[in-house]
């Protein structure tokens, strides 16, 4: 059963993305855009966690450092993969 976001959706997603930034010492340039899309299109905490985990893996595999603009098509691909868009 999915867990509803409720009023905490934005805070949850932003916290997940901030943890990614902190753990990799990166700055997500399009932070607001990406967090908004994740909140809008995932619909629950588990979906958001899955998408943010995929973003974290993408940053790790590509050894991204410093400032990064996360490609919108990449985020949408991850959302589609979890079947929520």
Q: What is the CATH classification number for the domain harbouring 35?
A: 1.10.8
- Range from 5-9, 50-54, 66-70 carrying the lowest mean pLDDT: 5-9
Percent of the chain having pLDDT more than 90?
Answer: 79
The contacts of residue 44 (CB under 8 Å, 6+ apart) are 2, 3, 4, 5, 84
| H or E element that contains 82 | none
Distance CA 65, CA 38 (A): 22
Sign of CA dihedral 44, 57, 31, 34: negative
- Check whether 85 has a pLDDT greater than 50: no
Domain with 69, as residue range(s), is 8-81
77: pLDDT strictly greater than 90: yes
In a domain, 52, yes or no: yes
Give domain status of residue 47, yes or no: yes
The answer to whether the CB of 56 falls within 8 A of the CB of 20 is yes
Q: What is the mean pLDDT of residues 14-24?
A: 97
């Amino acid at each position: 059963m999915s867990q509803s976001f409720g009023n905490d959706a934005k805070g949850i997603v932003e916290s997940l993305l901030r943890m990614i930034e902190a753990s990799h010492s990166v700055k997500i340039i399009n932070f607001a855009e990406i967090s908004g899309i994740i909140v809008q299109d995932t619909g629950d905490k588990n979906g958001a966690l899955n998408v943010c985990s995929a973003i974290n893996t993408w940053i790790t595999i590509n050894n991204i450092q410093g400032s990064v603009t996360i490609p919108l098509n990449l985020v949408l691909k991850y959302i589609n993969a979890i079947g929520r868009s």
